[in-house]
Structures are given as structure tokens and as C-alpha cells.
Amino acid sequence: MPLRDLAATFDPPCESMTIPHEEIRRRRTFAIISHPDAGKTTLTEKLLLYGGALQLAGSVNERKNQRAATSDWMEIERKRGISISSTVLQFDYDGYRINLLDTPGHKDFSEDTYRVLTAVDAVVMVIDAAKGIETQTRKLFEICRRRGVPIFTFMNKLDRPGREPMELLDDLESVLGIGACAMNWPLGMGVDFKGVYDRMKKEVHFFERTPGGAYRAPVSIVDLHDESVKKRLGTATTEQVMGELEMLEGAGHAYDAEAVLAGKLTPVFFGSASNNFGVQMLLDAFVKHSTQPRPRITPGGQIVKPDDPFFSGFVFKIQANMDPNHRDRIAFIRICSGRFERDMVVTNARDGHKLRLSSSHKLFGQKRETVDEGFAGDVIGIVGHADVRIGDTLTEDPSIQFAEIPRFTPECFAFLHGKSTAHFKRFREGLEQLLQEGVVQGLYIRKAVQRVALLAAVGPLQFEVVQYRLQGEYGAETRLDPAGFQVMRWVSPAVTEDELDEATLPSGGAFAVDTEGHTVVLFPGPWAEPYFTERNPKILLSALPFDTNPSSDDSTEETA
């Protein structure tokens, strides 16, 4: 059931309940999504600057001269200049507790992004005003639409030559099929971009540029009809802006809070993240108009409300070696209900094991600090439980088990070898941790004479990340050999070992076993799957593991 259909089930708790409604009301948990290079990480940094979490914004484009972005803390991210792993940034702003999740934009790391989208209540979609809606933006938007996640849009890079604002609004409706309400309007474009007009408050905001955008941009606020407006914009630009605003009033979408929370209308903000134009307006409007944590539903149909007295949450990400001083492993948990308290005992619904959550942390990029308490909407990090996996439900009520994490069908395959036998232990332990993170999927060819790691991934850049991290974090140098597979399908667990032995495989095909013990079949190309099914009609195949719940909203997203 999409989140929008659950909104009506939330009722404020009575005063006698132990979960304070005020703590839930002030939570805002959201992700920033975009196509690569649209300015997502830059906007993340500037939201932290205006939110008071940073005193100086890092430069994303000039990493050699200034410190790197807070959210891109991994060494490979700083060298490549791209985000490859989602990051949690938690801070307080204007009475709200913000859980901001920066996500990778590159399609090769879409698995990480999709998992993050299961843990948020809203998203900010960043669009490059010069390029409009790009491929990855469209895919991420569709995932949010399926889940009924409210979407706020930031049209970025108005300080550069770009497409007309009206055209950008039309694209949201014609390409993405969502209504668009302009919350502000740009005053000029490119080098003539001077600021924005706040349509809600009917105020003109003129900004001044700061060196590198490292500090808050000074702003002066005047009435639209003030004489200074025409002086600063010029007669032609002023008349154009007046005409566009008149057109918006007559033909544009009006703001509708219910439509926004239902994912049918997106509030649109224009600005420039690199110059800090419009960032404050976006942040203030987002915390005001976005949603507090909403109910979740289990595969069995049980509705879990944020104010339910029992604690529940699910693991959506695992990250190793965030602290270079410790070879630890941190599990990211989105709290769905109840109150988290450090040292509490919970049940892992997957296997029934009891866990004491004693090493709990509030996260800010790579930095962490001990946290003693948390409520629905919060993201906390738990250290010290090697058996916890992505997708696990941790709860005080063992009857609850969320089915939140989507599964993915790999499209790229390669064999990974440790170059040095002396460092084989490092190689093995490092690969095991990275497989637990879900960076790639691990397979072993069934009945192979030599047990060699076969990696499966959505995109080839994931292999580069594995090799880089094995070398840098574990001191294990590796060699990657291409595997001649293009398609992977899971085999029904009802198939016996004898049936696998007797099966007819196409040339270049193979059976393998994944890290969960599930049998898969690998094909050299799309043509081989119909060949296999024709000759082995009793062996059922699936693009997803057969234990994936088919009723989950996300279970079939982004398969082959």
C-alpha cells in the first residue's frame, strides 16, 4: 500500500500515551535525488549551511583547494568527484529534527538510492535548469510516485544559461505527469540572475554572491512594486517577470497541501545552490509543508503507526569502516514506531534472535556521537551486530516484519581474485563485509572445481568501488576478470539437486549459488533464457528471489 493511502490512518495519541506526539510532529526525514551533476550534493551542503549544521560550506567543484563536501566522506568519492554511497546527516533546525539522506546520482549505484527511498517520508528532486528532466531523475521520480512519496522540486543552476522557467514547469507536467506549483519565481537568468520572488509571501528577495558560495548570501527583501526592483532588474526583465507572474496566477496550479502530501503536486523552487540563492526559502518551506513520519504497513496488512508504544524499525543500509580507527560495521535503522532507548533489547524478526542495542549513534556524514533516545522518523546507527542484514526488522513486537527493501536483478558480472596469497585473509574478510553492505552481490559457481568469487552488480562502477575499497581499507590488491554472463535468474527452491544436475544448459550458461544460499542460473545473453525454459519446463525462474514478497510496493522495482 503506498504511503499516501496510509495518511488517513494516523490519529494523534491521547495524552496518557508514553510516546510524545510533539516528538513525532517535528521529525522531517527526506532524501535528495537527481541525475548526476544536477547539483544534489552541493544543495545538500548548502542546506546544512543554512540549517546551522555547518559554518562553512565545502566546495564540490574545487576539492583540491577547499575541503570536500560533508556528505562525500569516502576517499574514492573525493577522488572521483561523485557520490557513490548514501549518507545520513542529522541536525536540528527551527524546532525540527532533520534526518537528511544524500543519495548517489549515478545509475550504477541506484540500488543504494532505492533502499534509501524506502526510509524517507519525502524527497527533494534537484533538476539542472539547463538540461531539464534527465533519465535518472525520471527513474527515481517513478519510484517515489509508486510509493506515494511527496516530492519537492528545486530548479538549480539559474545562475547559468538555461531553459525558460515556464518550459521547466511544463516539463514536470508533460514528462513526469505531476502538477507543478511555483512557490517562487526567478528574477533574471544566467549572469543576470538577481534573486527570486516569493509568491507565497509576495516578497522580492535580492541576493548578493559570496566567494565560492561558502557563506550565506546576503539578501535584501522588498515589495514587488518597489522602485528598486526596476532599477536592479532593468525595464525589460521587470516587465517579463510581471507578465510571467500574471500568467501563473491565471493558469498555474495553486498550492494544495493535500495534493502535495499525496504525491500529485510538487512545489517548485528556483535558485542556485552554488551561490546560495533560494536555499533558505526551500528549507523553510520544506520543513513547514512536508510531512511528519507516517504509518507503515506490513505484508500481513498490519498498520504500524509512529505513535504505537512498541519500538520498530528496519535496516536499510550497512556501512563498514566509516571510522578509520576501528574496523567496525554500522547498520542504519529507520525508526517506524515507538521510542528507541539505548541498551534496549529488541527482536530480529527474521530469525527471532534477541539483540541489545547498546552502541547507538546519531550520524552526521562520517561523524557520529552516542544517542540515547530516538523516535519515529529518526535514522540511527547501530554498531556491533555482525548478523544483522539489510532488510531486517528490529522490533519489540516480534509479530511485526516489514518488507521495505527492494531486490535487484544484476546485469554485470565479473570474477574477483586476490592477487597475493599472503593477503588472502584480508581479501576474504574485506569482501565478506562489502557483500554485507550490498555494494555488489556475491555468487559461487555450483560444483566448480575452484571456489572463485563471482560478483554481480547493477552497473560496472560498483566493481571499481569494491576493488578500490579492498585495496584502501583492507590492504588487499585484487584482479578483476570479465565473466561471460549477461542475465541472471533465480531458480525456484522447489527444484531438487537431481533436477539441476539433469537440466540442459545453453552454451556458456551456469548454475550458481548466492550468499543467501539461493540457486541462480546465469545466461550468456537474453536469447539463452527462452532456450533454457523450453528445454527445462519444470524449472521455474524469476527475476527476483522467490522469497520476495510479491505484495510489497518495491518488490518488482527496477528489475531486469
Last residue of a domain, one of 290, 306, 334: 290
261 in the same domain as 146: yes
Cell matching residue 388: 544483522
pLDDT tens figures, 56-99? 665 433 333 333 455 444 555 555 555 455 688 899 999 999 99
Ramachandran angles phi, psi of 330, nearest 5° = -115, 130
Query: What's the confidence (pLDDT) of residue 323?
Result: 64
pLDDT tops 70 at residue 46: yes
Place of cell 532456450: 531
Residue 560 has pLDDT above 50, yes or no: no
| Pair (235, 372) in one structural domain | no
Type and span of the H or E element at 139: helix 135-147
More confident residue, 161 or 325: 161
What's the mean pLDDT in 437-456?
86
More confident residue, 17 or 352: 352
- String of DSSP letters for 266-287: EEEEE-BTTTTBTHHHHHHHHH
258 and 113 inside one domain: yes
Of the listed ranges 205-209, 416-420, 462-466, the one predicted with least confidence: 462-466
Q: What would the grid cell of residue 398 be? A: 516480534
Query: Are 369 and 354 within one domain?
Result: yes
What number is the average pLDDT over the span 309-326?
83
- The whole-number pLDDT of residue 552 equals 38
The strand pair at 296-297 and 360-364 is best described as unpaired
- Kindly report the backbone phi and psi dihedral angles of residue 469, in degrees, each rounded to the nearest multiple of 5, phi listed first: -75, -35
Q: Which residues pair with 109 in a beta bridge?
A: none
On whether both 286 and 305 belong to a single domain, the answer is no
Tell me whether residue 94 is in a domain: no
Buried b / exposed e along 399-413 (16+ C-beta atoms within 10 A): ebbbbbbbbbbbebb
* Rounded to 5°, angle at Cα 27 from 213 and 395: 130
pLDDT of residue 347 exceeding 90, the answer is yes
3 state SS of 391: coil
Per mean pLDDT, which range of 130-134, 427-431, 508-512 is the poorest?
427-431
- Region 329-354 average pLDDT: 95
- What average pLDDT does the segment 222-235 reach? 94
256 and 131 in a common domain? yes
Whether 299 maps to a domain, the answer reads: yes
Count CA atoms within 13 Å of residue 363 on its CB side: 29
Band (322; pLDDT cuts 50, 70, 90): low
For 107, residues 6+ apart whose C-beta sits below 8 A from its C-beta are: 135, 136, 139, 458, 459
What is the grid cell recorded at 341?
A: 532507548
State how far the Cα of 380 lies from the Cα of 371, in Å rounded to an integer. Answer: 8
- pLDDT: which is higher, 160 or 109: 160
Decide if 417 contacts 479 (C-beta within 8 A): yes
Q: Would the pLDDT of 557 be above 50?
A: no
pLDDT score recorded for residue 106: 60
**pLDDT, the chain, mean:** 86
Give the residue carrying C-alpha cell 533538476. 127
The answer to the question of residue 97 being in a domain is no
The whole-model pTM stands at 0.82
- Same domain for 145 and 79, yes or no, is yes
CA–CA gap between residue 206 and residue 243 (Å, rounded) = 19
**Residue 92 falls inside a structural domain:** no
- Sort strands 344-348 and 354-357 into parallel, antiparallel or unpaired: antiparallel
Q: What is the pLDDT of residue 363?
A: 79
Tally of structural domains, the chain:
3
Confidence of residue 39 (pLDDT cuts 50, 70, 90): very high
What pLDDT sits at residue 246? 96
Please tell me which of 44-53, 81-90, 264-273, 323-332 the model is most confident about, judged by mean pLDDT: 264-273
Q: What is the DSSP string of 46-89?
A: HHHHHTTS-SSPPPSS-TTTSPPPSS--SHHHHHHTS--S-EEE
| pLDDT tens digit sequence for 472-499 | 888 999 999 999 999 999 999 999 999 9
Q: 290, 314, 344: which is the final residue of a domain?
A: 290
**Distances from the Cα of 12 to the Cα of 17, 19, 25, 295, 390, angstroms:** 10, 10, 10, 12, 31
Least confident of 141-155, 199-213, 395-409: 395-409
In terms of average pLDDT, the best of 100-104, 460-464, 536-540 is: 536-540
211 vs 344 pLDDT, higher one: 344
Q: How many CB atoms lie within 10 A of CB 450?
A: 5
143 and 230: one domain? yes
Both 421 and 336 in a single domain?
Answer: no
Residue 523: HSE in the Cβ half-sphere, 13 Å Cα cutoff = 19
Same domain, 77 and 153: yes
The answer as to whether 117 is a domain residue is yes
Tell me the longest C-alpha to C-alpha distance in the chain: 86
- Please say whether the dihedral angle defined by the alpha carbons of residues 370, 117, 434 and 400, taken in this order, is positive or negative: positive
At 523 the three-state DSSP class reads strand
Q: What is the CATH number of the domain that holds 448?
A: 3.30.70.3280
- 545/446 Cα distance (integer angstroms): 17
- Three-state SS string over 332-396 comes to EEEEEECEEECCEEEEECCCCCEEEECCEEEEECCEEEECCEEECCCEEEEECCCCCCCCCEEEC
The confidence band for 385, taking pLDDT boundaries of 50, 70 and 90, is confident
More reliable by pLDDT, 141 or 320: 141
Residues 314 and 189 in one domain: no
Q: Mean pLDDT over residues 6-31, rounded?
A: 69
Is the residue at 232 inside a domain? yes
pLDDT at 328: 76
List residues bridging with 315 in a β-sheet. 333
Q: What percent of the chain has pLDDT over 90?
A: 64
d(CA 198, CA 224): 10
pLDDT at 320 over 90: no
Closest by Cα among 299, 420, 401, 312 to 349: 401
Instruction: Decide if pLDDT at 5 tops 80.
Output: no
Task: Identify the DSSP state of 345.
Answer: E
Binned at pLDDT 50, 70 and 90, residue 105 comes out as low
pLDDT recorded at residue 251: 87
Same domain, 368 and 447: no
With a cut of 80, say whether residue 3 has pLDDT above it. Answer: no
- What confidence score (pLDDT) does residue 60 get? 37
Say if 250 falls within a structural domain: yes
- Rounded Cα–Cα distance for residues 334 and 375 (Å): 9
Secondary structure of residue 492 in the 3-state scheme: coil
Write out the residue range of the structural domain in which residue 321 sits. 1-26+292-405
User: CA-CA distance, 322 to 361, in Å (whole number)?
Assistant: 12
Of 290, 325, 353, which residue constitutes the final position of a domain? 290
Give the domain CATH number at 175. 3.40.50.300
Q: Does 550 reside within a domain?
A: no
Q: Distance from CA of residue 205 to its chain's centroid? A: 31
C-alpha grid cell, residue 147: 510509493
Return the half-sphere exposure (C-beta side, CA atoms, 13 A cut-off) of residue 154. 34
Task: Write down how long the chain is.
Answer: 560
